[in-house]
């Protein structure tokens, strides 16, 4: 259906005291720093523009939209210098063009709360006589309130009383400048608009300036501000309060300190986008280089959608080669999931993304040289539409209804852009796959598409021979990732040592009644870890509070657990959960932070190797021998995790006619079995014998 365009116009010309009409506007401070008595009101009304009914709290405007666009006609004289349009606007969440006499002069600033945004009108944009101002959606999907609209006959610098603020960030220990994110807010910690930053050496958004640390400057309207420096989750968050006054530059010099010791590991973000090659988001390549350096990402895997992006030339151009090692990758974006691949060759054609078969897709990716293939955000875009649901993952057994192989080396459990409300939800998927015998490593990443969302917010800590971020051996990092030696992080760092010397990815020859687990938990002063959990084969076997440091001190603690030696081989995973972060410098999408280890494999039966619960289940069934009753007896005696695998194996054999009845009987006693039966099950294989 085509929406009928309705336009309307209002002839306005008389001067109006800008101040008077603002009294009606929802008690939000929307004045320029100094009231402008010479501002001309082009419209005094609150116009509802768009295609749908007003939102509940839009009390100032009409229920139905006036039309899909706003058109204001007014008379003026040509402007020889810059003038300014002040537009009160509300709930702008999409792209809206602001056009004057047919020429776009701005895209409306996006903000939810009602306030006035200012737009510079270049010299010569106003005509003698009638002028037309149009505000129009670029997508036709959004609804907004705009107006009053006023014309200020002065340049932006004067209207807002912009004043100069110099910015420096240095490493507290070395005294050297260090790339960082500077967050500028009002005194209520709401991000503010930043003006006239120096292009090429900064990446600027609402309330955010990424810098290389050396002196740069921006302009702020007259007022009081909080200024913070951050550099990802390993660093402190110093703060200073400043007052911006025209004619007196405010000098900000923030000293930032490393608070989380991650020596021996490098911080990898395996999932990063740019507007340049992903086509959405807002970070161009140059800005991405600044954000990577400013967030302390050390191994940066470029993963634009279906594009092999090489950061190296941009990193060099920006003079940022010392801060991270770039890796060419690709988020192979298919109808059956977003599949992350690296390293790739930027000169090669990207892997085929038009296939619908996991194995074919992954084979195609590996044929292009990728060593690591990860299933990204496995529960996106929603639970029912996610690839794991499409293929029918049974979250108790790790079987797929469609019996697809699971050809991935890793799976994202901490994607900062699309976390699950329950922090352990994805872990249950993962544990089921591990129990089923898949070798799949946990991954943390940011999936950042923008400057504002911190790249590296989700990350993976990979052991490294060097701590120099410019000299990371990419092949070695891939190998160690594949060996499961990394831990994942969303604000917290974790590492584990079992029986004094075994690390993530290792197999432990367990001796004695208890397994000694020493978990290290570290976090910066502005993140609070709360609980440490230990899982064996995905079942929680221990929990302890994390004894965090004093308030506003970094956390760096060792937690010791004595875990009862399991009867059979098991994988051991530690998870740390903490409070969500709400500060604008590093805001989490959900109300938690976390860290998790990859598994340490316990060889409990002393045969020198680790067997997954699936293999143990097979072994136990073999031992029970042929008689069906003995096999069911063995299922009954096994622990839940292994019993589920035995049930799945018996079902797969397809030779047991009363499988369903017997399974239901056992499920009454074993909760995991009843979960298993309630979830998608693979088809029963019908044997040739049964067909006869």
Smallest distance, Zn ion to C-beta of residue 584, A: 23
Nearer to Zn ion, 370 or 634 (CB): 370
**CB-facing half-sphere around the CA of 457: CA atoms within 13 A:** 28
Smallest distance, Zn ion to C-beta of residue 299, A: 17
Nearer to Zn ion, 156 or 374 (CB): 374
Nearer to Zn ion, 377 or 506 (CB): 377
290: Cβ contacts below 8 Å, ≥ 6 apart:
179, 201, 202, 203, 210, 211, 212, 318, 320
Q: Which residue is nearest to Zn ion (CB)?
A: 338
Smallest distance, Zn ion to C-beta of residue 472, A: 22
Asked if 531 and 545 count as a contact pair (C-beta separation under 8 A), the reply is yes
Smallest distance, Zn ion to C-beta of residue 271, A: 6
Count other Cβ atoms within 10 Å, centred on residue 129.
9
Quick one: which of 128, 124, 120 has its CA closest to 155? 120
545: Cβ contacts below 8 Å, ≥ 6 apart:
530, 531, 532
Asked if 511 and 556 count as a contact pair (C-beta separation under 8 A), the reply is no
407: Cβ contacts below 8 Å, ≥ 6 apart:
358, 359, 362, 363, 373
Count other Cβ atoms within 10 Å, centred on residue 333.
17
Smallest distance, Zn ion to C-beta of residue 492, A: 23
Nearer to Zn ion, 447 or 499 (CB): 447
Peptide bond into 343 cis (omega under 30): yes
**Residues at the site binding Zn ion, with contacts judged by CB under 5 A:** 331, 338, 376, 447
Instruction: Please identify which residue in the block is written with the tokens 């990204």.
Output: 376
Asked if 151 and 84 count as a contact pair (C-beta separation under 8 A), the reply is yes
C-alpha span between 498 and 516 (Å, rounded): 6
What residues pair up with 457 in beta bridges, in sequence order?
A: none
Nearer to Zn ion, 239 or 389 (CB): 389
What residues pair up with 166 in beta bridges, in sequence order?
A: 217, 251
Nearer to Zn ion, 376 or 612 (CB): 376
Smallest distance, Zn ion to C-beta of residue 429, A: 17
Count other Cβ atoms within 10 Å, centred on residue 579.
15
Smallest distance, Zn ion to C-beta of residue 304, A: 8
C-alpha span between 160 and 32 (Å, rounded): 5
Smallest distance, Zn ion to C-beta of residue 640, A: 34
Asked if 77 and 172 count as a contact pair (C-beta separation under 8 A), the reply is no
Smallest distance, Zn ion to C-beta of residue 454, A: 15
Nearer to Zn ion, 234 or 331 (CB): 331
Nearer to Zn ion, 338 or 662 (CB): 338
Strand, helix or coil at 3? coil
What residues pair up with 208 in beta bridges, in sequence order?
A: 183, 205
Smallest distance, Zn ion to C-beta of residue 660, A: 39
Nearer to Zn ion, 307 or 338 (CB): 338
Nearer to Zn ion, 41 or 341 (CB): 341
């Amino acid at each position: 259906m085509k929406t009928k365009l309705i336009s309307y116009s209002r002839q306005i010309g008389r001067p109006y005291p800008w101040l008077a009409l603002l009294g009606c506007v929802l008690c939000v401070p929307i004045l320029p720093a100094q009231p402008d008595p010479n501002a001309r009101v082009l419209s005094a009304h609150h116009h509802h523009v768009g295609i749908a009914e007003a939102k509940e709290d839009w009390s100032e405007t009409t229920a139905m939209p006036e039309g899909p666009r706003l058109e204001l006609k007014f008379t003026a004289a040509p402007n020889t210098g810059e003038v300014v349009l002040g537009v009160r606007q509300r709930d702008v969440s999409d792209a809206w063009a602001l056009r004057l006499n047919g020429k776009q002069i701005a895209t409306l600033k996006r903000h939810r709360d009602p306030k006035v945004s200012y737009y510079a009108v270049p010299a010569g944009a106003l005509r003698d006589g009638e002028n037309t101002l149009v505000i129009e959606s670029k997508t036709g999907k959004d609804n907004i309130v705009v107006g009053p609209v006023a014309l200020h006959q002065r340049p932006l610098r004067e209207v807002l009383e912009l004043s100069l603020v110099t910015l420096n960030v240095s490493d507290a220990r070395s005294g050297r400048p260090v790339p960082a994110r500077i967050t500028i807010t009002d005194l209520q910690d709401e991000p503010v608009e930043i003006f006239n930053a120096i292009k090429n050496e900064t990446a600027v958004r609402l309330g955010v300036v990424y810098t290389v640390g050396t002196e740069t400057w921006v302009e702020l309207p007259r007022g009081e501000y909080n200024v913070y420096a951050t550099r990802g989750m390993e660093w402190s968050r110093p703060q200073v309060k400043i007052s911006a006054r025209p004619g007196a530059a405010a000098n900000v010099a923030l000293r930032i300190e490393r608070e989380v010791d991650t020596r021996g590991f490098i911080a990898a973000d395996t999932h990063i986008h740019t507007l340049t090659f992903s086509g959405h988001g807002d970070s161009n390549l140059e800005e991405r280089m600044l954000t990577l350096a400013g967030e302390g990402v050390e191994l940066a895997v470029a993963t634009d959608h279906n594009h092999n992006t090489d950061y190296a030339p941009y990193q060099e151009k920006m003079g940022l080669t010392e801060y991270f090692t770039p890796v060419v990758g690709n988020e192979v974006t298919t109808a059956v999931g977003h599949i992350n691949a690296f390293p790739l060759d930027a000169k090669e054609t990207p892997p085929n993304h038009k296939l619908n078969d996991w194995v074919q897709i992954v084979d195609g990716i590996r044929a292009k040289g990728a060593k690591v293939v990860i299933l990204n955000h496995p529960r996106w875009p929603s639970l029912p539409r996610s690839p794991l649901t499409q293929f029918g993952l049974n979250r108790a057994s790790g079987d797929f209804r469609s019996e697809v192989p699971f050809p991935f080396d890793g799976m994202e459990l901490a994607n900062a852009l699309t976390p699950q409300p329950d922090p352990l939800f994805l872990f249950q998927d993962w544990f089921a796959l591990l129990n089923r015998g898949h070798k799949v490593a946990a991954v943390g990443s940011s999936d950042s598409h923008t400057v504002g969302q911190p790249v590296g917010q989700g990350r993976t800590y990979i052991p490294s021979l060097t701590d120099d971020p410019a000299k990371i051996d990419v092949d070695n990092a891939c190998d160690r990732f594949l060996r499961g030696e990394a831990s994942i992080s969303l604000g917290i760092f974790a590492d584990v040592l079992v029986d004094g010397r075994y690390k993530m990815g290792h197999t432990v020859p367990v001796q004695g009644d208890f397994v000694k687990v020493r978990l290290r938990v570290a976090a910066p002063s502005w993140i609070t870890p709360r609980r440490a959990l230990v899982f064996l084969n995905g079942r929680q076997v221990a929990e302890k509070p994390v004894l965090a440091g004093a308030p506003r001190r970094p956390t760096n603690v060792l937690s010791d657990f004595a875990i009862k030696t399991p009867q059979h081989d098991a994988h051991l995973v530690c998870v740390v959960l903490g409070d969500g972060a709400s500060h604008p410098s590093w805001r989490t999408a959900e109300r938690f932070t976390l860290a998790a280890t990859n598994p340490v494999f316990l060889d409990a039966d002393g045969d020198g190797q680790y067997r997954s619960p699936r293999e143990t289940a097979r072994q136990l069934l073999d031992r029970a021998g042929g008689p069906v009753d003995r096999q069911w007896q063995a299922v009954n005696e096994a622990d839940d995790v292994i019993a589920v695998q035995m049930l799945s194996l018996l079902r797969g054999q397809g030779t047991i006619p009363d499988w369903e009845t017997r399974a239901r009987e056992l499920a009454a006693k074993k909760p995991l079995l009843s979960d298993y039966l309630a979830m998608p099950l693979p088809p029963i294989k019908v044997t040739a014998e049964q067909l006869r």
